[in-house]
A and B are shown apart, each in its own frame.
Chain A
Amino acid sequence: MPPKVDREKCDGCKAEKESLCEQICPGDLMTLAEDKKAYCRMPRDCWDCMSCIKACPKGALETRIPYQLGYHVAKLIPMMGTNTITWTCIDINGKVERFQYINRGMLD
C-alpha cells in the first residue's frame, strides 16, 4: 500500500539529491520521478510503516488502505512535534478520532 502523493504539494524536497521520503523509506521504495515528484516504485512492497508520511515536511504524503481491504475513504494523519505526535483518524463515516502523546523523553 504505497503512500498517496499529493503532487501539487510535493516539491520533491526542492529537487535535492534525495527527497526526505526517499532518504527514510526502509524499503528503498520512495524515489523521485523525472518531474522531481516523489512516488513509490514498487507499490506491492510497501509495509505502510508511515515513516515517509512522518518525514514529509510538506504534508504531501498520505497512507491509504487499498480498496480490496478497506472502503473509501479513511484517513490517518500524523503530525510530528519535537517530542509529540498527534494522530487524526477519520473513518469512512467521517467520524474523527484524535490521539496525542509524547514520543520522546521528558515524561516526568
Chain B
Amino acid sequence: MQKTIPKIGLFIYEQGGRLARAIDLDAVIQRLARIKNVTRCEVLTDLAAPLPSIKEDFTSDKFNRILWVGKFSDYQKKTIQSELSSAGLNPYMHEWCDIEEQGIGIDGVDLGIQTQKAILIIQMSLARTRLLEPLEPLELPAIDAALIIGAGVSGLHTATSFMELGKKVYLVEKESGVGGKVASLHRLYPRICDPRCGLEFEIQKIRESDMVEVHTLSKVKSLEGSPGNFDVRIEKQPRYVSEEKCNACGECMKVCPAVIPEEQRSRESAFINETSQQVLNSLKSEKKAIHPAVPMPYPPTFLIERQSCPSECRECVKVCPAQAIELEQTSSEMAFKVGAVIVTTGWDPYQLSKVEEYGYGIYPNVISNLEMERLLESPPAIEEIGFIQCAGSRDERHLNYCSSVCCSVALKHVLYLKEKLPDARCYIFYQDIRTPGFDEELYQKVKSLHNVIFIRGNPSTVKPGDDGKLKIRTEDTFSGKEIDLSLDLLVLAGGMMPSQGSFEIAQLLNLPQNNFGFFESHLQCHPEESQRTGILVGGACRGPMNISQSIESSHRAAMEVLPFLNRTILIEPKYPVLDLTKCDKCKRCMEECPFLSYVFDENGFPSLDLTKCRQCGNCMGICPLIAISLRNNTIKQIAAQIQALKSSFMGKEEPVILAFLCENDAYHAAKSAVEYGLPVPPNVFFIKVPCAGSVNNALVADALAFGIDGVLIAGCKDGQCHYVKGNQLVKTRSGDLSDKLQKMMIDPQRVRFESLEIRDSKKYVELVKSYIEELRAMGPNPFKS
C-alpha cells in the first residue's frame, strides 16, 4: 500500500465560548497551525455551516484526515462521519480529542498552563492522527443454528425460545429422555403444582416443530471452529428400539422378563423398624430392561438396557407390533454445524453420606430432600419428622455456599406433607431461613401451621433409638437449651453442586469454572456469557438457582446467542494484528489471551480467531517484541502520543503524570471527576486504553525515557476486569518492570498500578494529588532533560 503523506484538517469546536474562557484560543491556533502536516486549522462555532467547505477541502485533497477538538456527542460524530464518508473519507480517519475531559477548563488553574496543556493534548492527538489508516469492519458469515447441551428444564426452555425465533436447534442429552432433575420432582413451589405439567408444555412445542432435533443418549464428542461456525460431533448410544417405528404401545414391557432394581442404599438392618421399612419400600422402585425413556418419555420411544437384558431372550422382538426392536444397533456418530453453543448441564445433589454425623446411608429413615420428593407421592404414616437445612451446605468441609433453594424446598415439603398428614409434627432445624423474594410468603404460611416447629441449630448427633426411631440431639441456639427428640424420619437438605456432565463439558470445551465447579461468567453484567465467546451457560450449571431462575437464565442465554446467529458477524476493526516480521513465536500472546483466541498457523506463528477475540489488547500488552497492535490503536500511535507529551511543560521540577486508563472503569472515573468539577491537577495527562492489560511495558519505558515523572496504569478492581485477568497481567508485568527500575536506581513507584471503579472520581483525584506529592518528593525523573 502506497503511504500517503498525512495532511490534517484540525478543527476546534467551540461551544458558547467555553474554551475561550479556559485557554488562550488564539495562541493555541497559532501554535497548532505551524505544526507539520496540519493543512487547515481553525475554530468552528457551529458544525453544520462549515461542513460543505470541509467536504470540499477534503475532495480537493487539502487534507486526508481530520482531528476534531472539543466535545462531540455520539450523534454529532456519527453525522460528521457519514457526511464525510459520502465524500470518500473513511470513518476511521477521524480523530476525536476532548480536551475538556482532561481537565481543561477546571477552575483555579493558570491560563498559561491550561493553554500549554491544551496544546500538548492536541499535539498528542495529532501524533495519533498522523498515523491513522482507513479501516473497514469485517463481515463473517455465521450459521443460523444452535447447540444446546442438556435437556433439563433450562435446555428445553432455551430450545423452545430458539424455535420460536425461527432458529434451528440441536438438543443433546445424555439420558434417554428429557426433563432432567425437574422431572423427578413431585411438586414445585410456591404453587405446589406438578412439574411434569410445565415440562410437557415445552415438549409439546418441540414435538410440533421441525426446528428442534433432540438427541438423547448422546454426548458431545468434540467442538471445533469458532463462534458463528462451530463444528459439532456427537456420539449417540444405541437404544435398540427404532425411534421411527416405536409407537410406545408398551407390549414389549409386558413380556420382558428382566427386572432391574434401581440402585439401593445399604442400610444397617439392626435399626429398621416398621416406619423405616415403609420408607424403604416407598423409595424402592424397579423397571423392566425395556422401558420408556426417562425421566420424561420424550422422545416417546422405548429403549433397552442391554446389560440387564438376557441375550437369548428376544421376547420383545416377538411381540412388538411395530417391529421396532433393533437389537443390532451400535453407537453412532453425528456431525453438524452451529453458530453458538448453550450449555445447560444443570446440577447434581451433594453426596450426603459425606456428612457423616447425620447417618445418611446408615439409618433407613434418614433421607435426602430429593428422596423426599418421591416419598411424598405416598407418604407412610409418620408422626414426627425433622428437616435439617444446610446438611453440608455453608460448611467449609462440604459445600461452602448456600444452595438458595433448600429452605423453600423444605417449606414446600412441610406444606404438602401437612396436607396429607395433618397431624404430623415437623421440626425444621436451620441456621438461617433463606426465602428470597416471594418465597417469604411460603415461609409465613408454613410458620402459621399447627405443629410445625422451627429450631435454630443443626443437630449434633443422630443415633438410632430403642424403637427404631432416630434420637436427635440439638441445641436451640435461641434458648441455649439442649433438645432431645425422637423422630420417625429425618430429611437432609443437601446442596446443589455442578453436575458430572458440567465437569465433562468444561474439560471438553475448555470452559473456566469457579472455585465450586460452576461455570465462570461475568456474574452481573453478562451472567450467561462463559469466558469462551460463542458459548453460553444457562441454568443451574452456572450456580444454584430455582426453577424460575433457571428458565429466566436459559431465555437470557438464548437472547445472548442471537448476535452469533445473525447472517454475518460484524467485526469492528479494533482487533489486534500481528507483525510477523517481528514475531519470534514466543507464544506469550497465546498463553495470556483470556479468551484463547489464538491458534498456531501452519508455520507455527500465532494466528487470531477474530470471532473469539474480544479486542481487549492484552496480547498487545504482553508481546515482548511489540509485534502486536490493535488496528485502531496501534502501539506506534500510542508511542507517538507519548513522544508528543513534553514532560517539562510546567518546569523541570513540577511532576508530570501519564495515566493509562482502562476505558471501562478508570477512564469514566477520570472523566466524571472533571464533570463534577473536582480539582483535577493539571499535571496529569491520560491515554484511554481498552484494558489496563493492553499497556505494554515498552510504552511505559518510552514514557520514562521521555522524562515523564510518573506513569499510572489504572484498571479495574480484582475480579471486576471486563477481560477476566487484564489487571492481573499488567500487575505481574509492572512487577517485573519495578524490579528493573530498582536495579536502575529509579524509584519503582514511578510506575504504579491502581484499581479504580467507575464511580471512583474522588479517589482518582486524591490518588493523582497524592501521587504528585510523592513524585515531588522523589524529584524529577532522572531521564528528564
Contact = CB atoms under 8 A, between A and B. Distances in A.
- Chains A and B share a contact (CB less than 8 Å): yes
Contact of A82 (B626, B782, B783): B626
B586 interface: yes
A26 interface: no
B739 interface: yes
Interface stretch (B263-271, B285-293, B497-505, B695-703): B695-703
Interface string B737-748: 101100111100
Contacts of A24: 584
Interface string A71-100: 000010101111111101010000010101
Interface in A1-59: 9, 13-14, 16, 20, 23-24, 55, 57-59
State the majority secondary structure of interface residues on B.
helix
Contacts of B736: 9, 57-59
A81 B743 contact: no
B624 A79 contact: no
B635 A82 contact: yes
B66 interface: no
Contacts of B704: 79, 81, 86
A77 B740 contact: yes
B733 to A, nearest CB: 8
B744 A79 contact: yes
A69 interface: no
A9 B742 CA distance: 14
Interface residues of B, number: 38
Contact of A59 (B705, B739, B746): B739
A82 B641 CA distance: 12
Most buried by B among A24, A62, A82, A83: A82
Interface residues of A, number: 31
A44 B746 CA distance: 32
A16 B600 CA distance: 14
Which of the listed residues B588, B696, B699, B740 has the most CB atoms from chain A within 10 Å of its own CB? Answer: B740
Contacts of A9: 736, 739
A79 B739 contact: no
A88 B744 contact: yes
Contact of A96 (B624, B696, B782): B782
Contacts of A59: 736-737, 739-740, 743
A77 B699 contact: no
B739 A86 contact: no
Interface in B65-83: none
B705 A79 contact: yes
A100 B586 contact: no
Contacts of A88: 743-746
Contact of A84 (B36, B586, B706, B745): B706
Contact of A20 (B584, B740, B743): B584
A90 B624 contact: no
A14 B702 CA distance: 26
A5 to B, nearest CB: 14
Given A14-B588, A59-B736, A81-B702, A86 B783 contact: yes
Given A20-B586, A59-B740, A82-B698, A100 B783 contact: yes
Given A16-B587, A20-B624, A96-B745, A84 B740 contact: no
A10 B333 CA distance: 48
A106 B701 contact: no
B552 to A, nearest CB: 42
B402 interface: no
B591 interface: yes
Contacts of B744: 77, 79, 88
Interface centre among A16, A79, A96, A102 (most CB of B within 10 A): A79
A108 B739 CA distance: 33
A25 to B, nearest CB: 12
A57 B624 contact: yes
A33 B636 CA distance: 36
Contacts of A106: 640, 643
The 6 residue pairs across chains A and B that have the minimum distance between CB atoms: A81-B702, A57-B624, A59-B740, A81-B701, A84-B705, A88-B744
19 contacts: A20-B584, A55-B624, A57-B624, A75-B743, A80-B701, A81-B698, A81-B702, A82-B639, A82-B701, A83-B702, A86-B704, A90-B745, A96-B745, A100-B707, A100-B783, A101-B705, A102-B643, A106-B640, A108-B36
Interface of B: 36, 584-588, 591, 624-626, 635-636, 638-640, 643, 696-707, 736-737, 739-740, 743-746, 782-783
